[in-house]
Amino acid sequence: MLQQMEGDSAGDGETELLDESHYVAVSPRPEPAMSNISENEFSCHCCYDILVNPTTLTCGHNFCRHCLALWWESSHKNECPECREKWEGFPKINILMRDATDKLFSEVVQRRRMEIQANPKISRSLLAFQRHGDNLGRARTTHNRGAGFFFSGVLTALTCVAVVVLVFHWGSGVMEQHDLLISKPVSHWTSEDVVYWLENLGPWTEPYRGAFQQENVNGRLLLMLGDEELMKKPYNIENSVHRRAVLAELDRVKALGVKPPQNLWEYKAANAGKSLFLLYALKRSPRLTIFYLYLFDYSETFLPFLHTCCPPFTHTEEPVESSFLKTQLEPSWQQWVEFLVKYCVLPYQLIAEFAWDWLAIHYWTSRFIIVNAMLLSVLEGCFLWRLWTTARLRTLPQQMWNHLWKMLSQGFAFALMWPFVPQFVCNCLFYWALYFSPIINIDLVVQQLMHPETQAQ
Ligand SMILES: [Zn+2]
Ligand SMILES: [Zn+2]
């Protein structure tokens, strides 16, 4: 026992001695040791130049990130180019070493960075490598049931609630009546249909409904009504604004031949293809889609959209009760300015505001659209931020141009394919885009926010 303790202490003494000699050897002359550092120590064994964004593999070897990306792309293997050991996970930039090389060989590193950025092939393989890493990370986070999984779970539950509400809505037959009127020619409307139509115009029609009911006004009779008839007995619509509103709505009915859609479901039933197109196009490319509406669907869709998102500042003396009449006014310049600013900076905000206006009518659906719009805004912000931090902002015009072509070709393909797609498939796509894409987007946002800075470079 004693011997052992003695032995131990002797051993300790030895190590202390060794340590001291070590200190003696190193501490008095640190500068020559520093000057021994040459480019050789910091050179990459792929390109034999100074390391740029040095990336350390699990085997301990270091390579420039772009050298590794090029090697990975050509070999399709997760192997160290030097010792062929497989690396685990996704290699990250060694920040300590990067800062050291950036400081010690700033000129060389800067020159090399410029060269790398100017080389499209290297940029492409770096991007592909990064994407590979992102996919790995995504697979791992879903596997680890991280925060993204939690949010997805919550939203899946919400989606289930929404679907149940929808099914209930269908079951109660409310939809059927709506569907009926928007496809039933106005000349075939019964007096009940006429009252239902009047009811849909807004609460201001309440005092007049009784007269229509008593007179048994059916569709044919409704078409005969003019300004004079509405003013006289038995309708007694003395308020000229109300009369104008009823007549404007009546003109719309005459023009369409059926009841114009007044909520999302009616709109979808009346314009199945257009609603599906708008849903996907607004999600993918809100600016292009709104511009398209401005060009080709000005009064029917664009103007109501603008008036809903950017309501007029000044309130006119005469309140115009008909929502349709109100949306057909030419917007003021303040409205245009507000709209254009939002259009350029936060286009998804416009969609959220539009959905906000429908909260009372579409409780869950509006909330889903608003959440999705906010998520898409965040994703767009992340995308721009990544371009900015990786100094690829000048590729933005090129990317926008590519995006334009992609959207145009997809829109064209949609227009060609649309008549051949069964109604059932369209419905599935519609509800998928409406209720499930927020869940996917929330996952994407969580990943973007947890995305380590170093990997983006
Ligand atoms: Zn290299
Ligand atoms: Zn190695």
Residue 81 three-state SS: coil
Calculate how far, in angstroms, residue 79's C-alpha sits from the geometric centre of ligand 2: 8
Contacts with 103 (C-beta within 8 Å, 6 or more apart), sequence order: none
Please give the pLDDT value at position 111: 93
Confidence of residue 273 (pLDDT cuts 50, 70, 90): confident
Return the ligand number nearest the Cα of 52.
1
Return the ligand number nearest the Cα of 53.
1
Return the ligand number nearest the Cα of 122.
1
Neighbours of ion ligand 2 (CB under 5 A): 59, 61, 80, 82-83
Please check whether residue 362 is in contact with residue 263, taking contact to mean a CB–CB distance below 8 angstroms: yes
Contacts with 27 (C-beta within 8 Å, 6 or more apart), sequence order: none
Report the range of poorest mean pLDDT among 89-93, 356-360, 378-382.
356-360
Enter the tokens of residue 449: 């926010």
171-223 pLDDT, tens per residue?
555 555 555 677 778 888 888 888 888 887 777 788 888 888 888 888 888 88
Calculate how far, in angstroms, residue 98's C-alpha sits from the geometric centre of ligand 1: 13
119 phi, psi to nearest 5 deg: -95, 110
Taking residue 94's Cβ as centre, other Cβ atoms within 10 Å add up to 19
Of 72, 73, 53, nearest in space to 63 by CA: 53
Percentage of residues of the chain with pLDDT beyond 70: 79
Contacts with 160 (C-beta within 8 Å, 6 or more apart), sequence order: none
Calculate how far, in angstroms, residue 104's C-alpha sits from the geometric centre of ligand 2: 24
Calculate how far, in angstroms, residue 94's C-alpha sits from the geometric centre of ligand 2: 15
Please give the pLDDT value at position 455: 39
DSSP string, 88-139: PS---B-HHHHHHHHHHTHHHHHHHHHHHHH-HHHHHHHHHHHHHHHHHHHH
Calculate how far, in angstroms, residue 127's C-alpha sits from the geometric centre of ligand 1: 17
> What is the average pLDDT value for the chain, to the nearest integer?
78
Return the ligand number nearest the Cα of 58.
2
Q: How far apart are CA 359 and CA 353, in angstroms?
A: 10
Enter the tokens of residue 368: 């889903």
Please give the pLDDT value at position 145: 54
Calculate how far, in angstroms, residue 54's C-alpha sits from the geometric centre of ligand 1: 8
378-408 pLDDT, tens per residue?
988 888 888 887 767 778 888 889 989 998 9
Return the ligand number nearest the Cα of 46.
1
Calculate how far, in angstroms, residue 403's C-alpha sits from the geometric centre of ligand 1: 33
Q: How far apart are CA 368 and CA 162, in angstroms?
A: 9
Domain spanning 185-256, CATH architecture: Orthogonal Bundle (1.10)
Return the ligand number nearest the Cα of 68.
1
Taking residue 160's Cβ as centre, other Cβ atoms within 10 Å add up to 11
Contacts with 225 (C-beta within 8 Å, 6 or more apart), sequence order: 217, 235, 250
Enter the tokens of residue 241: 């604004």
Check whether 314 has a pLDDT greater than 60. Answer: no
Return the ligand number nearest the Cα of 62.
2
Residue 79 three-state SS: strand
**pLDDT greater at residue 174 or residue 56:** 56
Of 174, 189, 327, nearest in space to 259 by CA: 189
Confidence of residue 61 (pLDDT cuts 50, 70, 90): very high
Return the ligand number nearest the Cα of 57.
2
Check whether 35 has a pLDDT greater than 70. Answer: no
Enter the tokens of residue 439: 């869940």
Return the ligand number nearest the Cα of 80.
2
Q: How far apart are CA 101 and CA 39, in angstroms?
A: 9
Calculate how far, in angstroms, residue 122's C-alpha sits from the geometric centre of ligand 1: 12
Taking residue 178's Cβ as centre, other Cβ atoms within 10 Å add up to 20
Confidence of residue 168 (pLDDT cuts 50, 70, 90): low
Calculate how far, in angstroms, residue 39's C-alpha sits from the geometric centre of ligand 1: 13
The domain defined by 54-144 folds into Herpes Virus-1 (3.30.40)
Please give the pLDDT value at position 198: 82
Helical H segments across 390-436, by residue range: 396-417, 423-431
Q: Is 185-256 in the same CATH topology as 54-144?
A: no
Calculate how far, in angstroms, residue 45's C-alpha sits from the geometric centre of ligand 2: 10
Calculate how far, in angstroms, residue 386's C-alpha sits from the geometric centre of ligand 1: 24
Calculate how far, in angstroms, residue 51's C-alpha sits from the geometric centre of ligand 2: 15
Calculate how far, in angstroms, residue 110's C-alpha sits from the geometric centre of ligand 2: 26
User: Alpha-carbon Rg of the chain, whole angstroms?
Assistant: 34
Please give the pLDDT value at position 70: 93
Check whether 421 has a pLDDT greater than 90. Answer: no
Q: How far apart are CA 51 and CA 65, in angstroms?
A: 8
Please give the pLDDT value at position 170: 60
Calculate how far, in angstroms, residue 56's C-alpha sits from the geometric centre of ligand 2: 9
Q: How far apart are CA 343 and CA 285, in angstroms?
A: 11
396 phi, psi to nearest 5 deg: -60, -50
Calculate how far, in angstroms, residue 209's C-alpha sits from the geometric centre of ligand 2: 83
Calculate how far, in angstroms, residue 129's C-alpha sits from the geometric centre of ligand 1: 15
Spell out the domain ranges in the chain.
Answer: 54-144, 185-256, 264-296+346-456
Of 83, 89, 44, 101, nearest in space to 67 by CA: 44
**pLDDT greater at residue 370 or residue 226:** 370
Q: How far apart are CA 427 and CA 425, in angstroms?
A: 5
